Amino acid sequence: MEEFQAPAGTVALPDSGSTASSTWREALKRQLDALPLERRRQLRVLTHGAGAQLLPDGQGDTPPLLDLASNDYLGLSRHPEVQAAAAEELQRSGVGAGASRLVSGSRPVHRQLEQRLATWLGRERVLLFPSGFQANLAAVGALANRHTLVLADRLIHHSLLAGVKASGARLERFAHNDINDLEQRLQAARAHNEKRRLLVLSESLFSMEGTSPDVGVLAACCSRHGAALLLDEAHALGVLGPGGRGLAWGLEGPGNGAIALISGTFGKAFGSGGAFLAGDALVMEWLLQSSGPFRYTTALAPPLAAGALASLDWLETTEARGEAAGAALLQRARRWRDGLEAAGWPRPPGEGPILPLLVGSDQRALELQAQLEAAGLLAVAIRPPTVPEGQARLRLVLRRDLPAGTLPRLLDALGPAPTTP
């Protein structure tokens, strides 16, 4: 990236008419002009229709779009119990918390949600955050410093990479979900320095790949080499594992395992907003005492916390409900993968509700997005840098409330499969 060099003696940002201002503005313009049209992003406003339908805002009589793009896997964002809980807390506590948790922003609903989540996940303690990005920044910062070696899955989320950069730790990438590659790197790291702090970063359900590691094998590998494991369960919670508790559930007892922290969000299967970190008492107390991302931010909005708590209630009402919701979604995901493969498309990897349809070029992905939209289906083209170069795709997402017959409708809208991926 081209950098702006301020003139000697400059002590403040120049106004819009100065030569220096023109310099940095011209640099930004050159960078924008160099961005190919197929890589440009645009904001689009959509409003909720009935069920899983979305309405393009301000586009007249445009028909509704069936949502195959959002992460509202269980459809809880519009569930009456979740909405009612958020509305009740809105009247009780107001819209925002007004301060950080360490000043005056803590509310009873924060404590209730933290305690319930800790019990549900089998962890000693939970802390809430306003966003998943912020939670991951805090998690890496708590477990790594400039003396740490971080080994991250090559397809790890950007928020975790941002956390590594902020921590000053050294970063190595291992091949996606390749435990053998990770094992070799951990062995080499221990041979070089047996006392160095090691941190491994992975996800239980990769948001753009739809794939999952064997979390038990991953945790055991980390444990053998004395490495801490930070596992992002954002897309798995509510869907994967017993009762939707994620893939780390039941693997380790409190305080004695390689899984140092679990991060999760409420903006996906929980249908609310915000995020959390879960771990043992030692790590969580260290977070409370040392974490800038926790200390220096306004607390999670109380209505969002109440909505997430109601979603947890929904999952826990009976153990069978959480089990049934996840099982039904996974069964549907298998049918969709089978159907796409039978139609000649590359079988989407993984087993969960995220089905990436790899098409290669950015332009082809955008064309398919438009093609599906013309048929009333919303599936968004995902392009670099979100995914590796040359691996643009449509990201298909299954929801519990999709109507019957959606798969044949999708296959018809996609048309003939390409002869080559």
Helix/strand/coil percent split, the chain, to 5: 40, 15, 45
Q: Phi, psi (5° rounding) for residue 368?
A: -65, -35
- Neighbouring C-beta atoms of residue 70, cutoff 10 Å: 18
Residue 408: is it exposed, middle or buried by C-beta count within 10 angstroms (0-12/13-18/19+)? exposed
SS3 assignment, position 259: strand
Q: What pLDDT tens digit does each residue of the chain (421 aa) get?
A: 333 233 334 344 445 555 666 788 889 899 999 988 888 888 887 788 777 888 787 655 678 999 999 999 999 999 999 999 999 999 999 999 999 999 999 999 999 999 999 999 999 999 999 999 999 999 999 999 999 999 999 999 999 999 999 999 999 999 999 999 999 999 999 999 888 999 999 999 999 999 999 999 999 999 999 999 999 999 999 999 998 999 999 886 544 468 999 999 999 999 999 999 999 999 999 999 999 999 999 999 999 999 999 999 999 885 556 667 788 899 999 999 999 999 999 999 999 999 999 998 999 999 999 999 999 999 999 999 999 899 999 999 999 999 999 999 999 999 988 765 4
Using DSSP's 3-state secondary structure scheme, residue 242 falls into helix
What would the two tokens of residue 312 be?
């947890």
Domains and CATH numbers, the chain: 51-73+320-414 (3.90.1150.10), 80-316 (3.40.640.10)
DSSP letter at 177?
A: T
Quick one: residue 28, left, alpha or beta (phi over 0 = left, psi -120 to 50 = alpha)? alpha
Q: Which tokens go with 81?
A: 């119990």
- Which amino acid is located at 191 in the chain? A
Contacts of 165 (CB under 8 A, 6+ apart): 171
> Residue 173 in 3-state DSSP?
strand
Positions annotated as catalytic residues are 71, 157, 203, 207, 232, 235, 268
pTM of the model as a whole: 0.89
Q: Whole-angstrom Cα distance, residue 392 to residue 378?
A: 16
How far is residue 54's CA from residue 65's CA, in Å, rounded to a whole number?
Answer: 5
Sequential DSSP letters for 119-138: HHHT-SEEEEES-HHHHHHH
